[in-house]
Amino acid sequence: MSVAAGFGLSHKLAYAQKVPKVAVVGAGIVGASIAYYLSKQGGDVVVLEKSKPAVQASGNSFAWLNATYFDSPHSYFELRSESLLAYHRLQRELALSVHWGGSLEWYAEDDRQQELVSGVSRIRASGSQTRIIGKQDLSSIEANLQVDENARIAYAVGEGAVNPKAMTEVLLAAVVRNGGVVQYPAEVSAVQSIGNKVRVATQNDTLEVDKVVLATGIDTNSILKMAGVNQEPMLPATPGILVTTKPMPQILNAVVYTNKTHIHQLLDGRVIVGEKAGPPQTSQHGGYLKGKPNQYPDPSLAAEHARRVLAIAQDYLPQLGNAEAESVGIGWRPLPKDGLPVLGQPAGAPGIYVAATHSGVTLAPIIGELASQEILEGVRLEQLSPYRIERF
């Protein structure tokens, strides 16, 4: 499928120069965000997606928008905090639905709980509004949530959640309105630098562009190799199971994150529940997960996992006893080797820009804002210096 729109001049580059043509490989939420900001600022953008937008990690993400005590170093915590602000800017620009209900986080294990309490104290010293509350305080925030009498809970009032697939669709629609093109299925088979241009081949066409953005998630290492970049910044992807219920009356406002489960409810009533234990380590499950599917091939097995995941969450939110599973997704999480984003141009590959990260849903707006500036203006922003690919 290919979607295009007229190439109007609103939001175009203010400086007199040739409009750069940029191919963004990957239509997950990070690629869609970069494409949006590029098109908004005047770039001639084509997005190439091998299957469908947001069907890989983005479409199966828990999608908690957060900047928390465990985000280290502090510059990374600040980047995530700035991305939450960027979400608010993006909401003013686009018809974007974000549920700003805050978050509640606590653990049963003493060491994890002590780390949480000391971490909250640390980020409060730098201005965070996150605070520690008890069960009595919780009752006025989440009346349905069941916790131990002595629970100490980190309450982050400024955090929230989003439907990442819907957000990706909104961003890509804006790309098209700004004159860009979105192509899928369009799997990249070759990336080759030719002078000051980059040639990108798919099963549909061969494009010659000024820049190529690799927002390719778990495929980053292989696409970099295809482009002649001998660096592997990403670890092997790991799976996580995500259950989405059918719409329910509102039972939860905040994002809930514990040692056994994580839960939030979308504005449309659907409840999102993620497992913490990971899939069973059996040869049967190994066979099911071979090839990194996003859905279980056996509906009965998917239903079994949904019952298990919802039963655990029901211990904290009894109303989930009435929930019906609508879908069970398997998300394959991109994870850089040091846990931090990988952003920028690899050495010796001037036409290539890499954008790979964990927590892509939280970071998508700020990465879109800053990466588009680097790509269009040919600069290296100091703010992104901790995240360069050269560190690997």
pLDDT higher than threshold 60 for residue 256 = yes
Residue 276 has a pLDDT of: 83
Question: Is the distance from CB of 272 to CB of 266 less than 8 angstroms?
Answer: yes
Residue 165 has a pLDDT of: 97
Better-scored residue on pLDDT, 24 or 3: 24
In the chain, pLDDT over 70 holds for what percent of residues? Answer: 93
Whether residues 190 and 312 fall in one domain: no
Better-scored residue on pLDDT, 76 or 288: 76
In a domain, 90, yes or no: no
Mean pLDDT of the chain: 92
In a domain, 80, yes or no: no
pLDDT higher than threshold 90 for residue 67 = yes
Residue 279 has a pLDDT of: 63
- Full-model pTM: 0.94
Whether residues 304 and 359 fall in one domain: no
Tell me the C-alpha distance between 136 and 145, whole Å: 12
In a domain, 326, yes or no: yes
Q: How confident is the model at residue 295 (pLDDT cuts 50, 70, 90)?
A: confident
pLDDT higher than threshold 60 for residue 263 = yes
Q: Could you tell me which residues come within 8 angstroms of residue 38 by beta carbon, excluding any fewer than 6 positions away?
A: 22, 24, 45, 180, 372, 375, 376
Q: How confident is the model at residue 284 (pLDDT cuts 50, 70, 90)?
A: low
Handedness of CA 52, 55, 56, 59 (dihedral sign): positive
Mean pLDDT of 196-223: 97
Whether residues 274 and 349 fall in one domain: no
In a domain, 271, yes or no: yes
Whether residues 140 and 216 fall in one domain: no
Q: Indicate which CATH number applies to the domain containing 127.
A: 3.30.9.10
Tell me the C-alpha distance between 134 and 117, whole Å: 12
Whether residues 142 and 246 fall in one domain: yes
Whether residues 316 and 371 fall in one domain: no
Whether residues 283 and 326 fall in one domain: yes
Number of domains into which the chain is organized: 2
Nearest in space to 273 (alpha carbons), one of 243, 303, 248, 241: 243
Q: How confident is the model at residue 296 (pLDDT cuts 50, 70, 90)?
A: confident
In a domain, 2, yes or no: no
Whether residues 149 and 206 fall in one domain: no
Q: How confident is the model at residue 182 (pLDDT cuts 50, 70, 90)?
A: very high
Mean pLDDT of 276-288: 68
Domain that holds residue 37: 19-59+165-234+337-391
Residue 111 has a pLDDT of: 94
In a domain, 3, yes or no: no
Whether residues 354 and 373 fall in one domain: yes
Domain's final residue, options 301, 316, 333: 333
Whether residues 312 and 351 fall in one domain: no
Residue 298 has a pLDDT of: 85
Domain's final residue, options 314, 333, 352: 333
Mean pLDDT of 117-131: 94
Better-scored residue on pLDDT, 254 or 287: 254
Q: What is the amino acid identity at position 81?
A: S
Residues paired with residue 263 on neighbouring β-strands, in sequence order: 256, 273
Question: Would you call 352 helix, strand, or coil by DSSP?
Answer: strand
Domain's final residue, options 283, 302, 333: 333
Nearest in space to 367 (alpha carbons), one of 4, 2, 14, 37: 37
In a domain, 73, yes or no: no
pLDDT higher than threshold 80 for residue 14 = no
Q: What is the amino acid identity at position 262?
A: H
Whether residues 318 and 178 fall in one domain: no
In a domain, 214, yes or no: yes
Residue 281 has a pLDDT of: 67
Tell me the C-alpha distance between 173 and 52, whole Å: 14
Q: Indicate which CATH number applies to the domain containing 34.
A: 3.50.50.60
Q: How confident is the model at residue 4 (pLDDT cuts 50, 70, 90)?
A: very low
Mean pLDDT of 315-334: 96
Whether residues 351 and 312 fall in one domain: no
In the chain, pLDDT over 90 holds for what percent of residues? Answer: 85
